[in-house]
Amino acid sequence: MSSSFAVDLEILQDVIDRMSTFERVLEERLDDVDGRVRRLHQAWAGAAADEHVRAHQEWLAGAQQMRTAIATLRRIGATAHANYAAAIAANRRMWG
């Protein structure tokens, strides 16, 4: 039994573009938060500050995982777009 599917290249490109925009905005927000935390710790010391630094480092590690995952998904989407577009072009050349 076969099943069919279709790919709308415009929608796929829109998703890729949105992911790129999200990556840029996310990077700006992460830089902002990290800068605020650095400034905070210029005047904050003690056990609570040390624990906050530890928690922030853990948060940064999680943010890096998220950035990596989003970039990977965007690259996969871009590869899929290129492959589907190439297949469409090849089919058009063969079938006219």
The Cα 72–Cα 78 span in angstroms is: 10
The predicted pLDDT at position 96 comes to 82
Which stretches in the chain have pLDDT values below 50? none
Q: Give DSSP secondary structure letters for 41-96.
A: TTT--SHHHHHHHHHHHHHHHHHHHHHHHHHHHHHHHHHHHHHHHHHHHHHHHHH-
Give the list of residues 6+ apart from residue 44 with CB closer than 8 angstroms, or none.
Answer: 52
Which DSSP symbol is given to 38? H
Instruction: Name all domains of the chain by residue range, CATH numbers in brackets.
Output: 9-95 (1.10.287.1060)
The predicted pLDDT at position 58 comes to 97
